[in-house]
Structure 1
């Protein structure tokens, strides 16, 4: 079929019924108006502006009519067809007018006769509101002056109308020659549509295209288009579940459907996907799914174009709510309308993937060739005709017959288990059969011990579970077999931190967990790769990763609700009581380690002790570390970095030390002595007197805050400042292991220093991710900031930026520059994008998290200068900031401050606590006018606040 199919002549495309066409554009009326213009102005210079005004009015009226119909409840398919009809009539009328009045000739020669055809999406009869119009001016054999004049005149008129017109001017011979060499041109010719002219040249092009280009080149064309598709997917993130999808070019988008259309048209010579039903390529319900998916995507894209007023295909957060509302998605049963809309989108994208697999399998079956068109990479399979009750069909595992899954539902689980252990793909015909048999998965199968054993083996066996579980999820088996998982399929989280849907994130996390266990990420994740081999409860770990987000979207704390799901589900899957307890605990506390590492001062002994009291055992500590790492890594690209790795590693090591008894009071004293001894060995350029003097400058906490190399680096900074009698020293060094730039500032200590420094960093385009603040015994402040580039992320590296940072700090501290004025002029795209999200301002005050400090946690929407506003508020309240943990999760800022009052004590007075909360809520408010919500005064809390961190 693919190599020798005879090209049947193409039937004319089926007409698309458009009601009341004349309300969109009346060609007769337009022709009359154009004739009147010629009668009034002649064909001289005065005609052109009048012509453009007439056509512009006609185009605007037609577009308004199409838009009115669409926004009154029309479909995307109707909208693109009506826009196409408007363009057809406008261009045809312009062509008639140009050859009859502008460049008339009584008897045109054969070289002066040409045709116009539509190509691209316009050639398919689909034209979105802001899409380009692609035209092919088809010439007989060579260009003549008159034809060039006509083409040029038409194009300039169309461009003056504001239309985005792409064009080609070629002869039939040129079209054939170039389409043989370039698959893009071949695709354009394939979907070209006659638009205007005698039609003889267009008919000749189609005939020669079929004969000279198509026959014998089926495999070449299909492979080229699918390779093109795969490359496009890679550029778009290679997932159909990204939370800001591209409706046209993203995986599961319109371009994927168009690729199927191109292949079908090339191989089967059909004009529509519905014709593939008659050719036994698709079943009626599959063709219907194609039509529904295409209409949904077209409808969303048309709304996107109308909403933005331009050619835009990326459905960003700031437009999703409006498009969802326009398409009728409202808040319902605790779920936002935008989340319901996006869930429907992801289910449509999944349907597109299913149709692609089915269609490509049909090509393989007919061609009897080895599979080249599959979506998943095939592994070698033993050449057997029968494998565990299934047949091997084209090197894929298939059902014995259509009734197999209905008669024996457990085989729907066994199929994927067999495919996994044999490294073989599942045949799309088997997936088809499963789709028709899903209702057979009910309570009986869910309680079947053998079915649950097979599923648990898929999840926890030696082979990577991600691929198999992804296939099961795509087929709908996961949702039926584990209904709780079905609730998070295509479930989006409406924020800028998460990149994937909940189910996709979970599958990615399982894949990362397998790679850690297999030793594939030793260089990137050395600690996790080491401790996972010490884990005893590996089955519990894999099940916990599967279930850690299973209760998202239910309106409560997903960790608490997920633990309840685990308690019910784990015994069903065959886990022991001990394993069930472990899974439930891991799900309940899967955010605890990141919460502590990223939002608490790890130098504070109580922080580590409280965490250890929660974890209790080295086994749970190891389990929690690996789960946390897999969870964060699976959130999306750039969500994991060396800075987070360093914090988690520090918490893990300190917790292990506490569990082994290493952080007693005596142990802390020994650690200080050891740190000072190691520093003495490092400072070979210090004599004994200089070293002893330096040792008197630091309070006990200082010596345990840094490694030996950093302590030595700071000792030399302090010695140089004292020697040169500098009031301010700014030192920067890049720490690539943590992906940060470490900025050390040695200056005279004074009230509000941290706030002014925060303003200097913000004005320089630097994000503070950690701050360690020390007052030395000589009254000087030694503040060490870890900063990242606010725009690009990662370390602040370029020399000009580092120089600007130093200058900015000096100018702010000297009073030459006011941070507020500088920040007012600094606008970022991130700030504008965050405005679409509502992050409830929140201030949590905790007097139990530290033995020496009051811990204040502030949550709010991120913006440039937020940290400066917060620290200025704290300074104005005469509070001393000892340390700070700064975190940003997409649009959400979570900043934690360790503070003391003016006397160096915790803040305990209710009135003072109320004032702190009031001032910080005011600082969190959007400068554009968003006021903080009224809230009752909170007393100091007796235990650490449980805040659901987005991970």
Structure 2
């Protein structure tokens, strides 16, 4: 059968079934047929034929099985295919949904016959869904349950009495069972809820081919509504009803065919019903579908870009067609339009063109649409016909359109509006206008980056960034990020940061530095749109340096005044700092919401405040260490005095602290550490510790006071990793008495802020083990890395530098993020007699980019010989771990 031509497969299966004496042989014959289908798929056979062919093969097999159960014939029972199988569409591992339709409730003997049939169906190895119903039960259940009604609408008779099947079809199609208006409203609500389960975006890293927005369910949705309202058996019939053009039907068919190919390949690869484009499958799937790596784009990225662009187009068609149905089913076709101007009017609360020639006569109306929607928020949207008209006139957005001063004014008006900026940018992207007006943006539509850090496609991420910035500007969102809202609402020209957000990643995937390329694009765009040279350069500077603040906060020691002074010198003035601060927070939150946490917020805020202070002093008057220390001491002192601690007790504890300690911690942290010291034995040979929930954050923080000879970093990070915590900060500061203050900030892996007291006590017990052990070695971490992380291989990179001012060595390690990574590094430090001063822990998706400020046992920077040996040792240990 492997060599059989596609159209002979059903006959060959029938011949094989005729020779079958039992179900096991029939199952083997079907497996062989499925293998032939997979071969045909790999050879590039038409996917529509393959999907329908598999349904035909199952028809033949079920027919053979039905005939084997001869007593079922002639007793008023019909075998009916329902759901996707009823449509005649089956993928290699799809559910086989059937119904046994009976003329009356089956008696005991009939129940036994049905049970025997169903048992053999299971024995065939199908993922079977089945029900037994009478016509009356079909009607009652369809009336009560929309899902049942939808399933039965797609029923197809396989075997049994035709009149019984016709009776059922008539019963569930009765006008009182889900009339088209109620059916439409319920289905729209069902789709809305389904989209919400997928975060209302098709651009997730691991989308669902079937259920995500723009997926196969959205195409089926159109068919269901068409069938209920028009009785249309196929989408082709919508052309006669003027609901689809030939071009739109072609795009629907092409989109469905692409998604079918993806789903068919998923089933072949996994050997099961799998609709999720998991990282586990994406690379192999791209190879199976024929993609190859290119100069700047991986094969998997090309495949996913095609996928995302397909579902975007299908989402657009779904929205337009459902709106057409709404206008036909729910709205008043004779409503009187309200003229807005000579180009646009409002009918049934939807914006529409005054006539079919509006865009051809005045192409600028293609932008005016979105401005009107901003100015008239009571308008529900754009009429479906007008959406189609926009699509047919997109060719007008050419170079002359982009150079037209009127269009420049319209676009900036949209960007400067008080309300609806993000909403209209999203609509412009959905309708295809934004990517044509800004061609560089068009090149990132649907572009994904194959990693775990970027949760969305580049265009979707970009629009999330602008959306986050917009929320800072609107008073009703002040409670979310009060500090950002305060800064944003004080800006004279908010459009500068919106444009920076729009262009910050616009050069992704071109090769070269995307920040530099994007800055060039941004400056040219701003100048073309009549902005001043100063404002254009500001936007370009923000794009060029959009990673500067986050990388400084997360990878450098911002307790070091030299770092602050250097950063302040790069920023130059407070206006740029304000713009950069807002852009950074909006960018990080828009990259992957799960990776945003209170610790990052604190780091960014600290860097902002320290830089404001440096800029206030003037770049010619660098931040002074003594002044910083004094400020922190005053803050901590006041807090402690307010809590009733005596000044003499504070002075006693602080006599052990060094200037480096004060530079590393905030005033509130110093006050907590002081409280812990005052209630403990400062001469304890084991030391002491405390753990608490962060007072202004989502995580936990631990402070360990231990003899300097005790190495706690490897052991503490090991135990916390085994407990499923992720460490975001570590600082180890020597004190004057031979002890050290080690602090860790950590969170649950999923960043949840619901650590209960029992969980907190387990963490305390784990740290207590560290304090009590006399062994320096750390226990190995047995917890496996998350599934997604295991799909990536990050090249290990080790880089040493010297912090001359603070007399420390800076070690940067890039490696795949794995549980126990920090403990492995810490163990290597113990073996080489290295002391950690500060650790900057940064996880970027599947990559760990950690920076350690370290010294030898004598408190000096590492020699070149030690750096070389340590680097080789770390690479060897990390390779074994990966």
Q: TM (normalized to structure 2)?
A: 0.94
Name the residue aligned to 2:764: 806
1:218 matched residue in structure 2: 180
**Is residue 2:23 matched to residue 1:52?**
yes
Partner of 1:674: 634
What pairs with 1:895-906 in structure 2 (closer than 5 Å)?
Answer: 895-906=850-861
2:281 corresponds to 1:319: yes
State the distance in 1 between where 2:17 and 2:271 align.
29
How many angstroms apart in 2 are the aligned matches of 1:672 and 1:366? Answer: 68
Partner in structure 2 of residue 570 of structure 1: 526
Q: For the Cα contact (< 8 Å) 1:133–1:163, is it kept in 2?
A: yes
Residue 897 to residue 98, structure 1, CA distance change in 2 (3 Å): same
* Separation in structure 1 between the aligned mates of residue 850 and residue 568 of structure 2, nearest angstrom: 23
**Counterparts of residues 43-122 of structure 1 (less than 5 Å):** 51-99=22-70, 103=71, 108=74, 112-122=75-85
Match of 1:434 among 387, 390, 393: 390
- Residue aligning to 2:828: 873
Contact 2:729 2:841 in 1 (8 A): yes
In structure 2, how many angstroms separate the alpha carbons of the residues matched to 1:696 and 1:581? Answer: 50
Deviations 1:348-388 (A, max 9, x none): 111111211221232234346169xxxxxxxxx99722335
Cα distance change on mapping 1:145 and 1:746 into 2, 3 Å: same
Q: Does 1:844 align with 2:815?
A: no
Q: How does 1:354-433 map to 2 (within 5 A)?
A: 354-367=316-329, 369=331, 384-387=338-341, 389-423=343-377, 424=379, 425-433=381-389
Matched, 1:198 2:161: yes
Q: How many angstroms does 1:27 deviate by? A: 6.1
Distance 1:664 1:706 in 2: 16
CA contact (8 A) 1:675 1:703 kept: no
Pick aligned residue for 1:498 from 454, 460, 467: 454
Tell me whether 1:770 sits opposite 2:729 in the alignment. yes
Shift of 1:848: 5.0
Tell me the equivalent position of 1:745: 704
Spell out the pairing of 1:783-798 with structure 2 (5 A cutoff): 783-790=742-749, 792-795=750-753, 797-798=755-756
In the other structure, the counterpart of 1:460 is 416
- From 617, 622, 644, the equivalent of 2:600 is 644
CA 1:591/1:915 → structure 2, altered by over 3 Å: closer, same or farther? Answer: same
**SS class of match (2:363):** coil
Instruction: Give the deviation of 1:504 after TM superposition.
Output: 1.0
Structure 1: gaps (5+ residues): 1-17, 38-50, 372-380, 929-951
Q: CA 1:815–1:370 in 2, change beyond 3 Å: closer, same or farther?
A: farther
| CA distance in 2 between partners of 1:399 and 1:630 (Å) | 36
Q: 1:245 to 1:553 in 2, by over 3 A?
A: same
Tell me the residue number matched to 1:46: none
Counterpart Cα distance in 2 of 1:438 and 1:585: 32
Tell me what 1:264 maps to: 226
Work out the CA distance in 1 between the residues paired with 2:543 and 2:13: 66
Change (3 A) 1:220 1:675: closer
From 864, 868, 873, the equivalent of 1:914 is: 868
Once residues 384 and 24 of structure 1 are traced to their aligned partners in structure 2, the CA distance between those partners, rounded to angstroms, is: 59
For the Cα contact (< 8 Å) 2:685–2:707, is it kept in 1? no
Deviation at 1:533, TM superposition (A): 2.5
Alignment of 1:118-197 (within 5 A): 118-197=81-160
Residues 360/514 of structure 1: CA separation in 2 closer, same or farther (3 Å cut): same
Is it true that 1:694 corresponds to 2:694 in the alignment?
A: no
How much does 1:212 deviate? 4.9
Question: Could you tell me which residue of structure 2 aligns to residue 243 of structure 1?
Answer: 205
Who is 1:377 aligned against? none
Match of 1:558 in 2: 514
Structure 1 match to 2:719: 760
Residues 876 and 25 of structure 1: CA distance in aligned 2, closer, same or farther (over 3 Å): farther
Picking from 258, 271, 282, the partner of 1:309 is: 271
Q: Which moved more, 1:690-699 or 1:626-635?
A: 690-699
Could you tell me which residue of structure 2 aligns to residue 3 of structure 1?
none
Asked if the contact 2:343/2:355 (under 8 Å) is kept, the reply is no
CA displacement 1:642-664 (0-9 Å, x = unmatched)? 11111111111111111222832
d(CA) in 2 for partners of 1:871 and 1:547?
A: 40
Q: Does 1:254 align with 2:216?
A: yes
**What is the aligned residue count?**
872
Aligned partners of 2:415, 2:80: CA distance in 1, in Å? Answer: 54
Q: Unmatched 5+ residue regions in structure 2?
A: none
Secondary structure (helix, strand or coil) at the match of 1:911 reads helix
CA distance in 1, matches of 2:636, 2:375: 56
Q: Is the 8 A contact 2:656 2:737 kept in 1?
A: yes
Determine the C-alpha separation between the residues in 1 that align with 2:352 and 2:538: 38
In the alignment, the residues of structure 2 paired with residue 852 and residue 860 of structure 1 have an alpha-carbon distance, to the nearest angstrom, of: 26
Per-residue CA deviation, residues 316-350 of structure 1 (Å, 9 max, x unaligned), is 12211111121112122421111111111111111
**SS of residue paired to 2:812:** strand
Q: Does 1:631 align with 2:594?
A: no
Deviation at 1:717, TM superposition (A): 2.4
Counterpart secondary structure, 1:721: coil
Structure-1 separation of matches of 2:363 and 2:453: 39
Offset at residue 708 of structure 1 (A): 4.4
1:285 and 2:239 matched: no
CA contact (8 A) 1:76 1:300 kept: no
TM-score, normalised to structure 1's length?
Answer: 0.87
Match of 1:892 in 2: 847
* CA deviation map 1:19-42 (0-9, x unaligned): 6544356465355335xx4xxxxx
Aligned in 2, Cα 1:188/1:818: closer, same or farther, shift over 3 Å? farther
Output the aligned Cα RMSD.
Answer: 2.5
Aligned-pair CA distance for 1:818? 8.6
- What is the Cα deviation at residue 725 of structure 1? 3.4
Partner residue in 2 for 1:663: 623
| Whole-angstrom distance in 1 between the partners of 2:843 and 2:104 | 64
Give the superposition deviation at 1:116. Answer: 0.9
**Separation in 1, partners of 2:506, 2:820:** 36
Once residues 690 and 629 of structure 2 are traced to their aligned partners in structure 1, the CA distance between those partners, rounded to angstroms, is 30
Contact 1:682 1:709 in 2 (8 A): no
Question: Is the CA contact 2:559–2:665 (under 8 Å) kept in the aligned structure 1?
Answer: no
What displacement does 1:213 show? 4.7
Task: Give 1:814 shift.
Answer: 4.8
Q: Is the 8 A contact 2:565 2:623 kept in 1?
A: no
Distance 1:344 1:796 in 2: 40
Is the alpha carbon distance of 1:391 and 1:715 closer, same or farther for their aligned partners in structure 2, counting shifts above 3 Å? closer
Contact 1:842/1:858 (8 A) holds in 2: yes
- CA displacement at 1:783 relative to structure 2: 0.7
Q: For residue 927 of structure 1, what is the aligned residue in structure 2?
A: 881
1:833 counterpart (788, 791, 806):
788
Q: Secondary structure at the match of 2:276?
A: coil
The answer (yes or no) to whether the contact 1:671–1:704 under 8 Å persists in 2 is no
